[in-house]
Amino acid sequence: MAWHVSEFEEGLEAIAGIDGKLDHAHQAMSHLGLTALIYDYTPVTYTHEGTLITPSYFGMRDVPADMAALWSSSGFYQIDPVQHLALQSPKPFVWSYRRDDRTVLNRSLSEVHAPVVDYVHDARITCGMTVPIHLLRGDCATVTGIRHDAAADFDREAQEHLADFALLAHAVHAAIEPLFGEAERQSRAVRLTPRERECVRFSGEGLSAKEISLKINRSAPTVTMHLNAAARKLGARNRAQLVARAAHYRLLS
């Protein structure tokens, strides 16, 4: 498999854009019997209150046309049990939504997941494998391969391919992540203006509103206005909580 991974990585490197790299990955993963591909990336996985944050980037291949909107805008991501497992797991895993299969997913399904369960059955995408990629800064990516109309022995067969899929998944992430811009690297949970972020960042360094005003060439009341606006967006009651929550959402970098 090492030679094939090397060829795959060379192919990814030769392709300039994210879409092209995902197309290349989708094609390569078909050799493992996978018919659909999902790659997502989130700079911050949970809100400060513990709610799962929708990824800042979704890349999907050969899934139903409405799936991206449902997962990114209609709350399906927050109740997707595969995503919850991925964020809690350090290792790749095979999953199935079919009642009689025995995968790690079957043990965690409940009524909360009913909309997702119904959707994947209707779309005939009930089986797959997922590779969680947990990064040092706290950001996370997942690479998921799906097989349409999977046979009864999918879970056994998939285990045989899981290691190869994990190698390909890590290569895909390594090729795509450097191409992300500011939009992908900011959490969707909270968006501050550039000026608000600047003021909060200086506040995190211990500067007063007056000292910040000298740094950015604005009046102290204007600085206070920006800090108050940032505090409202972050639900912070005081300056210490503002800085702590801004750090949580990686807004200080």
What number of other Cβ atoms are within 10 A of residue 66's Cβ?
Answer: 11
Which pLDDT score, from 0 to 100, does residue 2 have? 52
Which pLDDT score, from 0 to 100, does residue 199 have? 97
For 167-179, the pLDDT digits (tens) are 999 999 999 999 9
What does the alpha-carbon distance between residue 22 and residue 8 come to, in Å, rounded to a whole number? 12
- Give the mean model confidence (pLDDT) for residues 84-109: 93
What does the alpha-carbon distance between residue 144 and residue 94 come to, in Å, rounded to a whole number? 10
For 10-45, the pLDDT digits (tens) are 999 999 999 999 999 999 999 899 999 999 999 999
* pLDDT at residue 3 is higher than 70: no
For 203-236, the pLDDT digits (tens) are 999 999 999 999 999 999 999 999 999 999 999 9
Which pLDDT score, from 0 to 100, does residue 163 have? 94
The listed range with the strongest mean pLDDT (6-10, 27-31, 107-111, 119-123) is: 119-123
* pLDDT at residue 149 is higher than 80: yes
- Beta-ladder partners of 59: 39
Domains of the chain: 2-185 (3.30.450.80), 194-248 (1.10.10.10)
Which pLDDT score, from 0 to 100, does residue 6 have? 85
Q: DSSP per residue over the chain, as a string?
A: -HHHHHHHHHHHHH--SHHHHHHHHHHHHGGGT--EEEEEEES--B-TTSPBPPPSEEEEESS-TTHHHHHHHSSTGGG-HHHHHHHH-SS-EEEE-STT--STTTTT--GGGHHHHHHHHHHT--EEEEEEEE-TTS-EEEEEEEETT--TTHHHHHHHHHHHHHHHHHHHHHHHGGG--HHHHS-SS----HHHHHHHHHHHTT--HHHHHHHHTS-HHHHHHHHHHHHHHHT-SSHHHHHHHHHHTT---
What does the alpha-carbon distance between residue 6 and residue 34 come to, in Å, rounded to a whole number? 20
Task: Please list, in sequence order, all residues whose beta carbon lies within 8 angstroms of the beta carbon of residue 107, skipping any fewer than 6 positions away.
Answer: none
Over pLDDT 70: what percentage of the chain?
Answer: 99
pTM, to two decimals = 0.90
For 56-95, the pLDDT digits (tens) are 999 999 999 999 999 999 999 999 999 999 999 999 999 9
* pLDDT at residue 166 is higher than 80: yes
What number of other Cβ atoms are within 10 A of residue 32's Cβ?
Answer: 17
